[in-house]
Amino acid sequence: MKLNAIQSLYNKACHQDEKGNVFINGKKPTAIESKDIDKEVLRLTLIQDKSEKVKSISKEYQTLLDAGVTYNGTLFQSDAKSVQTLSETLTAIANGWALPVGFAWIDAANTPHPASVAFLKGLSAALADHKTALFTRLQVAKQAIKTATSKAAIDAVIL
């Protein structure tokens, strides 16, 4: 992508003759114009680097979000489907549905755990805490990327 942005910049205004001379808008650039071009190329490269880093940490955010949550010393699934199922169960309870006798919630290792309403609410709170903490870290990282002024500063951003 970086190469495409740089290529696009040069193609819009530049061309090269058979002797290798570069022309911008039909004339040979001055030293100042050449420096301006270099600055613009660096600016576009930095924009591309920032975009790639945001994509990378967003992917990492989703991976961490789905990695599971420890509740009562046990790892439970935290992927979107698992969270939705828990939400639907708690909604049904709030609407008067009673948990069946022997109701259990399955952990990440497929082990059933006896689950009361209090247990399900606690698991839901743990999932919300997990997501909120990760989302806060994601926003801090995105802001650091946005304000970064060098490739090294972009690369130093972690989730």
Number of domains in the chain: 1
Contact 14, 28 (CB under 8 A): no
Distance CA 50, CA 91 (A): 40
CA angle 149–14–18, rounded 5-degree value: 130
pLDDT tens-digit readout, 94-141: 999 999 999 999 999 999 999 999 999 999 999 999 999 999 999 999
Quick one: pLDDT band at residue 13, thresholds 50, 70, 90? low
**Structural domain span for residue 14:** 2-155
What's the Cα-to-Cα distance from 109 to each of 38, 71, 113, rounded to whole Å? 55, 13, 11
- State the pTM of this model: 0.75
